[in-house]
Chain A
Amino acid sequence: MEFFRIKRDIPFMRHALVLNAVSLVTFIAAVFFLFSRGLHLSVEFTGGTVIEVAYQEPAHIDEVRKAIEGLGYHDVPVQNFGTSRDVMMRLPVLQGQSSGQQTEAVVAALKAQTPTVELRRTEFVGPQIGKELVSDGLTALGLVIAGIMIYLAMRFEWKYAVSAIIANLHDVIIILGFFAFFQWEFSLAVLAAVLAVLGYSVNESVVIFDRIRETFRKQRKLTPVQVIDHAITSTISRTIITHGSTQIMVLSMLLFGGPTLFYFALALTIGILFGIYSSVFVAAAIAMWLGIRREDLIKTDKRGTNPDDPNHGAAV
């Protein structure tokens, strides 16, 4: 079986300008929604109490809400979680009342309505933890970006490092943009997914850059644009198949993982789809705009003894 019967190099870079414009618009829209709507942060970041209860019969959200408002809470989000029998609610932090007391009061009020209701899960996070998580999350993001850039700059050249990072940050911002636009809950798991995507989709750029370097070495007559086109064309089948396989796994999580893994898998899905696009069109195109040249990479070739050289000792 072969899905990709490509006769000649596809001129990807011919459309780079248009596609980069599209990218820019998506990016700006994502930033806009991030600022205008903001992220719907989970209780881990904001502090507060989440209570999940299960009913025997499909739950009446309105009655649950009424019971909670009867306890003096206003505008408490009450929603179904997973199935129509599970209900999740988020209570704000109350001064002078512990989370345990809050939970007990709520469960008592719900039991008064429906005696069969069962407490499934509670989660309480103090406000100071939330602040720490935000700063830890940002530190982790910074560390990932710096680490990847340094590695790529060492392995390739700074132009590649810059374009790979821009392309992948563009993915991250777009994922966040989706979460802001649809007001999906942004939890710690989603943050982990975002960082994993950052590492994962840099892969994609690395594979293409590897090919660019190889083509530069082997095909001395090609212009940089042709080299890029050739590199992308010869890796496109691998790109699609790899991402397809990863997506199968993520899809499986999306379908079977239940509500806890849903947004995690969703963030990965968006990340994987945009990852393909951004490595092909954004990373390669930025590398092209930055003016990568054969001379930047061939330096090592003349010495011929660089042990880092991937082609070292591999002449066939």
Chain B
Amino acid sequence: MNRYPIWKYLVIAVMLLIGSLYSLPNLFGEAPAVQLSSAKSTIKLDASTLSKVEQVLKDANLTVSQMGLEGHSIKARFDSTDIQLKARDALEKAFNTNPADPSHVVALNLVPRTPTWLQALHANPMYLGLDLRGGVHFMLQVDMQGALAKRAETLAGDLRTALREKGIRHGGIQRNGQTLELRVREAAAAQSAQNLIADQFPDLLATVTADAAETRITLAIKPEAARKVQEQALKQNITTLNNRINELGVAEPVIQQQGLDRIVVQLPGVQDTAKAKDILGRTATLELRMVDESSEGRAAETAAGPVPFGSERHLDRNGQPVVTKRQVVLTGENLTDAQAGFDSQTQEAAVHLTLDAKGARIFRDVTRDNVGKRMAILLFEKGKGEVVTAPVIRGEIGGGRVQISGRMSTAEASDTALLLRAGSLAAPMDIIEERTIGPSLGAENISKGFHSVAWGFAVIAVFMCVYYAMFGVFSSLALAVNLILLVAVLSMLQATLTLPGIAAMALALGMAIDSNVLINERVREELRNGASPQAAIHAGYEHAWATILDSNVTTLIAGVALLLFGSGPVRGFAVVHCVGILTSMFSAVLFSRGLVNLWYGRQKKLKTVSIGTVWKASATSQAPAATQS
């Protein structure tokens, strides 16, 4: 009765094989490496880049242990961190000839030493969380209200232009938060304004209130349009963060959307946390406005008069005041790129801007109407505006390619370009969570977690072997298999292992032994009640199964709840906890039974089972002995 059909043994064998294969990569450790990737979408890495890297390293007399083009980057592994640092410097010098405008990202990295045959099987080690490898973690909250208000402001500008084009007279457009209010005196004009809005502004929902004096049209952004604005704002911010982080030279940055309005940024291995925070924390937005060239505006600029209505006074980077109109011509949203370069004719330093289609159209109209006037580019950081540059418009500029030049040094040009690029965030962001873990602490956490698991495991295994004899050995083996499977599944899922995750692993092992204890105690009890060894093994496993299922389901309920509602470290814990429960069901029941069947099942005349002392009380005093019927 204690025999498994061949296919069950096969299932166990296959599971063990897969488990060992996929948990194997975790044993090889990590090698110091330098990672080279492209900083610009126009530059692609290929075989020629690879041979160039080879050549550079050869010239510098540096030995590479392994190198290859993996995904979108070239990774070169070295034997020591010393060589790694030298290689980084050599590659930096060879590939980024212009430090002001780096074309490649050269970053230090730790790369798994997984052998190639395992990599070919897609067997990779678990991904270590920041608390284990050191680095910075940020959670950024995107200010969606701000994004909507800005969208409303842009729409107000568009509406003004449209009304002027149609020659509809109105009493002004005002923005109250995210809604606009348009006032029209004449009923006919009000009607045509409404038609215009329905026609050209599908994103706006109009409510009309009319009284004797005038008609008020209140315009709100439609919910679906608002959702689109939010989605776009988030996407734009993620792109911008990507660009900013590229400038930092991080090997494997994680930039992910979390929920509807949050972005998580993780920079493993970053040591210069201050710089990272500085670049990420720049919650800047960019706006293009016209400089107020009226006489009042000029007076305000020299502090000779008050700032006229509808204008604002900002300082440029040299502290010179510039008075600009409040109306926003373009925002950073329409700016797709900004690069430092040179004027093709005068060879002066210049900044080249690229606008998207809508931005290009608006820019053409505005420049046509305002030749000879000045346009200001403002960078808003935490509600405070700064004029980056205020060039004079020399002529109509179409096609969305804008060049700002004149009285600029090369360094200033690249600075401005960086600011403009960095400033093109669609909506302001705030850091709401931030974690920095030093690299030494990460290594310490790994060893602490490892020791916890190893010592706990060893003591449990010794105890089981002593207390349950041969069955204890089976239980310990099952526990080891559980650990292997758990690690294998986590590696396959490429789950992020954190310190709480390691704790969950230890706890999973501590709880998994419960099933084996249940089984062993049951078998002992059956033996105590006089069952034959084979019958006792059979009944022990059968009876324990229901209990094991029940208890694992309740534990799993708690695990799933943690998974659903936990965030950050708790989620790391929950994933390992849940996987651990599932693998323990396999190892404690199917695998240990397989071992027992293999060992005892063949023996037809089994006299004794090695399960430690089966102590029997004298039968007379045992009141309700559970006799088998």
The stretch of A122-130, A175-183, A288-296 in contact with B is A122-130
Interface residues of A in 28-76 (CB under 8 A from B): 52, 54
| Cβ contacts under 8 Å, A5 to chain B | 615, 617
Q: How far is the CA of A261 from the CA of B502 in the complex (A)?
A: 10
Is B470 positioned at the interface, with any CB of A under 8 Å from its CB?
no
What are 26 A-to-B residue pairs whose CB atoms are below 8 Å? Answer: A98-B281, A103-B436, A120-B440, A121-B441, A124-B431, A143-B564, A155-B550, A188-B569, A188-B570, A189-B500, A192-B500, A192-B574, A196-B573, A242-B513, A246-B511, A248-B459, A252-B506, A253-B456, A256-B455, A257-B451, A261-B449, A261-B452, A310-B545, A314-B539, A316-B542, A316-B628
Query: Which of A143, A155, A195, A235 is packed against the most chain B CB atoms within 10 Å?
Result: A195
Given contact pairs A120-B440, A250-B510, A256-B451, A238 touches B521 in the complex (Cβ within 8 A) = yes
- Please indicate the chain A residues that have their CB under 8 angstroms from the CB of B577 in the complex: 196
Q: Is the CB of A7 within 8 A of B617?
A: yes
A200 to B584, CA, bound (A): 14
Bound Cα distance A1, B500 (Å) = 35
The A interface is mostly helix, strand or loop, or mixed, namely helix
Q: What's the minimum C-beta distance from A93 to chain B, rounded to whole angstroms?
A: 11
* Minimal beta-carbon separation of B434 from chain A (angstroms): 4
Instruction: Tell me the B595-629 residues at the A interface (CB within 8 Å).
Output: 612-615, 617-618, 621-624, 626, 628-629
Q: Does chain A have a CB within 8 A of B68? A: no
Q: A248-B459, A314-B539 are in contact. List 13 more A-B contacts (CB 8 A).
A: A7-B621, A99-B434, A121-B435, A122-B273, A124-B433, A126-B141, A126-B432, A148-B557, A202-B554, A206-B551, A219-B626, A247-B510, A249-B507
Q: Give B520-577 interface residues, CB cut-off 8 Å to A.
A: 521, 525, 531, 535, 538-539, 542-543, 545-547, 550-551, 553-562, 564-570, 573-574, 577
- Interface contact B546-A144, CB-CB below 8 Å: no
Which residues of B are found within 8 Å of A265, using beta-carbon distances? 503
Q: Are A246 and B441 in contact (CB under 8 A)?
A: no
Bound-state Cα–Cα, A2 to B466, Å = 10
Q: Encode A230-255 as 1/0 by CB contact (under 8 A) with B.
A: 10001101100110111111111101
Considering the complex, give the chain B residue whose CB is closest to the CB of A103.
B436
The answer on a CB contact under 8 Å between A203 and B456 is: no
A230-B624 contact, Cβ under 8 Å, with A210-B550, A245-B513, A257-B448? yes
In the complex, B214 has a CB within 8 A of chain A: no
Which of these, B449, B451, B626, contacts A215 with CB under 8 Å?
B626
Closest to B556 in A: A199
* Interface contact tally, CB-CB below 8 A: 275
Q: Are A210 and B547 in contact (CB under 8 A)?
A: yes
B residues 433-450 near A (Cβ < 8 Å) are 433-438, 440-441, 444-445, 448-449
**B437: chain A residues within 8 A (beta carbon):** 120-121
- Given A218-B629, A261-B503, A136-B431 contact (CB < 8 Å): no
Is residue A113 within 8 Å, beta carbon to beta carbon, of the partner chain?
Answer: no
- A68–B559 Cα gap in the complex (Å)? 41
Complex: how many Å from CA A189 to CA B568? 10
Contact A189 B503, beta carbon cutoff 8 Å: yes
Interface size, A (range): 35 or more
Contacting residues, chain B, for A264 (C-beta < 8 A): 500, 503
Which of A189, A218, A257 touches B449 (beta carbons < 8 Å)? A257
Whether B514 and A245, one on each chain, are in contact in the complex, defined by CB atoms closer than 8 angstroms, is yes
Cβ of A103: which chain B residues have Cβ within 8 Å of it? 436
Known A-B contacts A9-B623, A238-B518; the reply to A316 vs B538 at CB < 8 A is: yes
Indicate the size class of the contact surface on chain B.
Answer: 35 or more
A-facing residues in B241-292 (Cβ within 8 Å):
273-274, 277-278, 281
What residues of chain B lie closer than 8 Å to A6, measured between beta carbons?
Answer: 617
- What 0/1 readout, one digit per residue, does chain A (114-149) give for beta carbons within 8 Å of chain B? 000011111111101100110011011101100110
The verdict on B509 contacting chain A, using a C-beta distance below 8 Å, is: yes
Q: Give residues in A with beta carbon < 8 Å to B.
A: 1-2, 5-9, 52, 54, 98-100, 103-104, 118-126, 128-129, 132-133, 136-137, 139-141, 143-144, 147-148, 151-152, 155, 188-189, 191-192, 195-196, 198-200, 202-203, 206-207, 210, 214-215, 218-219, 222, 226, 230, 234-235, 237-238, 241-242, 244-253, 255-258, 260-261, 264-265, 268, 310-311, 314-316
Nearest CB on A from B319, distance (A): 22
CB-based contact B626/A234 at 8 Å: yes
Interchain CB contact under 8 A, B463 and A248: yes
Contact assessment for A252 and B617 in the assembled complex, using a CB-CB cutoff below 8 Å? no
Q: A129-B139, A148-B557, A256-B452 are in contact. Are A237 and B521 (CB under 8 A)?
A: yes
With A and B bound together, what is the CA distance between A230 and B569 in angstroms?
Answer: 42
Q: How far is the CA of A148 from the CA of B555 in the complex (A)?
A: 9
Compute how far the CA of A195 lies from the CA of B507 in the bound complex, rounded to whole angstroms: 13
Top 9 A-B pairs ranked by shortest CB distance?
A: A199-B558, A310-B546, A249-B510, A126-B432, A252-B456, A203-B551, A246-B510, A249-B456, A124-B434
